[in-house]
Amino acid sequence: MLLIHCPYCEQDLPEVEFAYAGEAHIARPADPMALSDEAWAAYLFFRSNRRGVHFERWRHIHGCGRFFNAARHTVTDRFLTTYRIGAPRPDSAALPEAGQ
Amino acid sequence: MTAGDQAATAGGLRITEAAPGARFSLRLRPEHLPAAEAALGHPLPRRIGEITAGQGWRALMLGPDEWLLDRPAGGPPALPGAPAHALVDISDRELILRVEGPAAAELLSIGIPRDLRGLAPGQGCRTVFDSVPVILVREGETAFTLAVWRSFAPHVAGLLEIGRREIAAGL
């Protein structure tokens, strides 16, 4: 079973307690009316879909209920780190096993 | 709901429905904790999963800004002068199943994915039991209470009863 570290509970807990919530660090444009249709579509629908270290949101829905961010390697499915909402995005090169 | 009303005993395992108590969900910002504690008259836990007790109340910390307050009977806690908070009566939301016996942790592990060795007596957590959200409290080394939302309770009680019979049969 995949264990995910919840940065609020500070424990490694089973994956079934968590829900995936899409790519992280995507800010809603401050003024959507000023955007072109293409730029708005890019915000709404287009995601990086990376092969490698992917920054994504998770929610500990069957636990503390909090959203947090995680860096996961999409090839190995390993969680490299998890961090609280509001914390800066870690440098992906500095993460353990990021090169794998 | 068969396991709830009648105590079922076999293989040293007992599954009973606990008497309904008074349960309240308290949400407030962590910086307002000292003022809320002063209003309640007893300390609230600061770590998720910890439980504190005082003034007849028991408080379990479920999330960074969420506590579950419960006591055997009575009305809501008085929070005079406490800063902005949300206090919701959830007494009727859940049924409480009590699982006791030497194999209680083994029985619960049929539905709970957490490693229950990491849950010390006197600690609790919100987790899942076979995809049903539950609040689990380890009351003692071999005693647990499981708070299950009413509509899911027959499913959880039924699964626990099957597991109890399997353990009793030595499977």
A9 to chain B, any CB pair closer than 8 A? The answer is yes
Least Cα separation, residue B37 to chain A (angstroms): 21
Q: How many domains does one find in chain B? A: 2
pLDDT in tens, B94-152: 999 999 999 999 999 999 999 999 999 999 999 999 999 999 999 999 999 999 999 99
At B123 the pLDDT is 96
Q: Is A55 helix (H, G, I), strand (E, B) or coil?
A: strand
Looking at the structure, do residues B104 and B61 belong to the same domain, yes or no? no
Nearest to B125 among A10, A63, A66 (CB): A63
Least Cα separation, residue A80 to chain B (angstroms): 21
Query: Which residues on B lie below 8 Å from A4 (Cβ)?
Result: none
Looking at the structure, do residues B163 and B100 belong to the same domain, yes or no? yes
CATH number at residue B42: 3.30.70.1520
pLDDT in tens, A23-52: 999 999 999 999 999 999 999 999 999 999
Beta bridge partners of B124: B137
A59 to chain B, any CB pair closer than 8 A? The answer is no
pLDDT in tens, B31-90: 999 988 988 888 999 999 999 998 889 999 999 999 999 999 888 888 877 788 899 999
Please give the residue range of the domain that contains residue B53.
Answer: 22-89
How far apart (Å, rounded) are the C-alpha atoms in residues B50 and A13? 16
Looking at the structure, do residues B27 and B73 belong to the same domain, yes or no? yes
At B133 the pLDDT is 96
* B132 φ/ψ angles, rounded to the nearest 5 degrees: -100, 130
Report the residue of A5, A17, A59, A68 to disrupt the B interface, i.e. the one with the largest count of B CBs within 10 Å.
Answer: A17
pLDDT in tens, B131-146: 999 999 999 999 999 9
Please report whether residue A87 resides in a domain. yes
Please give the residue range of the domain that contains residue A10.
Answer: 3-26+46-94
Alpha carbon dihedral B157, B161, B167, B169, in 10-degree steps, equals -170
Looking at the structure, do residues B39 and B83 belong to the same domain, yes or no? yes
Least Cα separation, residue B99 to chain A (angstroms): 21
What pLDDT band is residue A15 in, cutting at 50, 70 and 90? very high
At B4 the pLDDT is 42
pLDDT in tens, A44-81: 999 999 999 999 999 999 999 999 999 999 999 999 99
Higher pLDDT, B125 or B171: B125
Higher pLDDT, B171 or A54: A54
**Cβ–Cβ below 8 Å for A11 and B118:** yes
CATH number at residue A75: 3.30.2270.10
Using alpha carbons only, what angle is made at residue B145 by residues A65 and B103, rounded to the nearest 5 degrees?
Answer: 115
